[in-house]
Amino acid sequence: MAWHVGVRKTQGWITRHLYWPRLHKDVVAFVRSCHVCQVSGKPNQKVPVAPLCPPPIVIESFSRVLIDCVGPSPRTKKGNEFLFTIMDVTTHFPEAIPLRNIKTRTVVDSLLLFFSRFGLPKEVQSDRGTNFTSGVFQQAMDELGITQVVSSAYHPQS
């Protein structure tokens, strides 16, 4: 008789054959105390709809850029084995700067070179790499008046 189908169906099956005065309360107590019913999902439950939040609209080109370090790759003749990638969110313009290492000072210098050609953005988004979360990088962003946004941990799609 224990089909684990919920209160309504269990009560409907019982009332076809039996009836007693506190039937509904007993069935509710039985289903709530059944371990299998609590562990397995409730099939007729509706999941509440999450509200949609539109992404922020960026109108100005190069007002928000995404940065990341890629590598190590095979060493080139000039000794470079990393790529510092920069991409504009609005125009999707990519830039790849070859680097010998990805220390914070090297990354900041490459970023300043990019900014000297395209102008200062309002926001820079990066992952949580130590070269982007260090005090030197934070100080450089503060002095330039740029807001740094870090992506979610262990979420490479962001």
DSSP 7-56: HHHHHHHHHTT---TTHHHHHHHHHHH-HHHHHS--TTPPPPPPPP-PPP
Residues 98-126: what's their mean pLDDT?
90
Percentage of the chain lying above the pLDDT 90 cut: 17
Which candidate, 14, 15, 7, 62, places its Cα nearest to that of 37? 7
**pLDDT in the model for residue 156:** 63
- pTM: predicted TM-score of the whole model, two decimal places: 0.59
Percentage of the chain lying above the pLDDT 70 cut: 88
Walk me through the domains of the chain, giving residue ranges and CATH numbers: 1-48 (no CATH), 64-150 (3.30.420.10)
Which candidate, 144, 135, 134, 81, places its Cα nearest to that of 112? 144
b vs e for 118-137, b when ≥16 Cβ sit within 10 Å of the residue's Cβ?
A: eeebebbbbbebebbebeeb
pLDDT at 150 over 70: yes
**pLDDT in the model for residue 8:** 83
pLDDT tens digit sequence for 22-80: 888 988 888 888 777 776 666 666 777 878 878 777 678 888 899 988 888 899 899 89
**pLDDT in the model for residue 158:** 63
Q: State the pLDDT confidence band at 85, using cuts at 50, 70 and 90.
A: very high
What is the strand order of the sheet 64-70 is part of?
94-99, 82-88, 64-70, 123-126, 147-150
**pLDDT in the model for residue 58:** 65
